[in-house]
Structure 1
Amino acid sequence: MTALSVVIPMYNEEAVIPVLVARLRPVLDSLDVEYEVVAVDDGSADDTANLVERCRLDWPQLRLIRLRRNSGHQAALTAGLHRSAGDWVVSIDADLQDPPETIREMLRVAREENVDVVYGVRSDRTTDTVFKRNTAGLYYRLMRRIVGPDLPSQAGDFRLVSRSVVEVLRRMPERVPVYRLLIPSLGFSSRAVSYTRERRAAGETKYPLRKMVALAWDSTADFTAAPLRLATWLGMAAFAASLIAMVFGLVVWANGTVIPGWTSLFLAVLLFAAVQLICLGLLGEYVARIYRTLQSRPAFHIGSDSADTPVPASVVPAQRTPATMP
């Protein structure tokens, strides 16, 4: 029985794989437990999958799951969690900003304190840009108001969970869950382990501003109906403003004062039309999510899983010189 699974979503990470393997393998070998490393290739366009296959020749615990297309970080993480076999499952990104050495402390805390979840909490983010640190702080403050105080501040997708948590997650109906919010909301016993966030070991970030905004919206829409309530309050505010405008118009009419031309009417129409469009847009977002849920389409499609086949005798050569290989 596998004691530990390490799930690593990967997308165009060919530059960091040799460094990742060289750093992660000694940590896991030193734990003296049966383990597996589940690398999930999220439809990479580079040589990521071939590099992992080459590493598997010398590292039998390494396993490769290939998705047929790029499905997103959370979908790739879901595929790895669902296919993992360990009693404990760690999720970690491939960029080495979350140090693999922390896994040892996570596993110790989980065993000694008998908890189901151990969060990796970033105690120092000076390697991130000022913009990213500030927006991350704003995100976590907002999410704590939505999910509750059980959400650890500065805890991303670097965590350890028990098999019980994984089985609950597999039964959840979310198409693409936001795990950093979903797992704290389940109420499992938890602890936190602090670590210093490091610089990306190689390559470029796969989480630009566009994806960070999308994550913030998914986190909000999946865990609260507040935007719908915002639409209601906007509608009520617009209705109150229209009543005031009506009273003002009646007073002006009663006094026989001529109301200036079309400008005020034009601006009022624009204001109320904008509020209506905002409300319709928010409603449309939730209706779209209901529609996607009812379709029950899978969030990812697994093309292959190396656990289903033996380690190949040969693989497609990677476009790297021998000096770069682990």
Structure 2
Amino acid sequence: MNSDLIAGVPGALPPELVVVIPVYNEQDAIQKVILEWIPALEKCCPNFLVLAIDDGSRDNSLVILRQLQTQFGQRLVIVSRPNRGHGQTCLEGYQRAGELGARFVLQIDSDWQCDPQYFAAFWQLRNETMVVSGIRKSRDDGWKRTVISKILRTMLLLAFRVDCPDANVPYRLMQTDIIQTAIRQIPSDFHLANVALAVLLRRNKSVTHAYIPIGFRERYGGEPSVKLPLFGRKAIELYRNIQQMLTNQKKSIS
């Protein structure tokens, strides 16, 4: 995949922004997401494309995406592949953004929780800092999710001495070239890969960060990638995976 193929015009310039949307069984929400985000993006950044990666959906998500593509043309690029999980799908999107030569990559989710009203504030900071992340100050998806986010922050701080204010937030704008090295350090079987990326970027003292308070809407249909009953098991798995990743990082440096 290259910029000429994406733009459909030989010699076309790379997109300034690639918006990565991982999609898995989101037939109820994905149309709402695309229909509200593309107009919002057009107000701030004329040169962008939305990269929707269907992660082996078993419902009509892919069919709906292809229907939307007839409306938006080259604004909407669709990739379909077998299921690998949300985090690894995000990493693939970040890598593709780098291959396309995009200066910036924004990741949002396909469940309608990410509200585009905040994007303009993110975009204003794009040249002032390398990573702009949302902090979910209000959440419509329940207090339990808020508690989980706080526990995650505390665990990362105590176990790895890394303060990630909202490590698994799906609303983050990043300078594409800055994140490529970190992406390569994340194992291909790392489930919560966005958390791993947040940890690596925060540990890198040369990477600058900014945080913007956002509201988080209740998801529209579908199911969360990490269900509440599995949180304890996933937390243990996450701790072990991060520990192994950081150990491997030290070995590669030495």
Question: Same fold by TM-score, threshold 0.5 exceeded?
Answer: yes
Is 2:158 the partner of 1:140? Answer: no
Contact 2:52 2:78 in 1 (8 A): yes
Counterpart of 2:170? 157
Is 2:133 the partner of 1:119? Answer: yes
Tell me the secondary structure at the aligned position of residue 57 of structure 1: helix
Identity among equivalent positions (%) equals 21
Deviation at 1:51, TM superposition (A): 1.0
Counterpart of 1:260? none
Contact 2:183 2:197 in 1 (8 A): no
CA distance in 2, matches of 1:141, 1:220: 12
Distance 1:131 1:206, change over 3 A: same
Tell me the secondary structure at the aligned position of residue 116 of structure 2: coil
TM alignment of 1:17-32, pairs within 5 A: 17-32=30-45
Pick from 182, 185, 195 the counterpart of residue 169 of structure 1.
182
CA distance in 2, matches of 1:56, 1:152: 36
What is the root-mean-square deviation in Å for CA atoms of aligned residues? Answer: 2.4
Counterpart of 2:77? 63
Contact 2:22 2:55 in 1 (8 A): yes
Contact 2:156 2:163 in 1 (8 A): no
Pick from 196, 204, 208 the counterpart of residue 227 of structure 2.
208
Distance 1:135 1:155, change over 3 A: closer
Distance 1:167 1:130, change over 3 A: closer
Deviation at 1:211, TM superposition (A): 5.1
Distance 1:109 1:83, change over 3 A: same
Contiguous gaps of at least 5 residues in structure 1? 226-285, 291-326
Deviation at 1:16, TM superposition (A): 0.5
Contact 1:11 1:44 in 2 (8 A): yes
TM alignment of 1:30-49, pairs within 5 A: 30-49=43-62
Give the TM-score normalised by the residue count of structure 2: 0.79
CA distance in 1, matches of 2:125, 2:183: 24
Pick from 13, 17, 21 the counterpart of residue 26 of structure 2.
13
Counterpart of 1:50? 63
Distance 1:35 1:215, change over 3 A: farther
Contact 1:19 1:201 in 2 (8 A): no
Q: Deviations over 1:195-253 (max 9, x none)?
A: 1111113334343125544542343113337xxxxxxxxxxxxxxxxxxxxxxxxxxxx
Pick from 83, 95, 100 the counterpart of residue 111 of structure 2.
95
Deviation at 1:173, TM superposition (A): 5.1
Contiguous gaps of at least 5 residues in structure 2? 1-13, 249-254
CA distance in 1, matches of 2:26, 2:39: 20
Counterpart of 2:198? 180
Counterpart of 2:218? 199
Tell me the secondary structure at the aligned position of residue 132 of structure 1: helix
Matched residues, number:
224
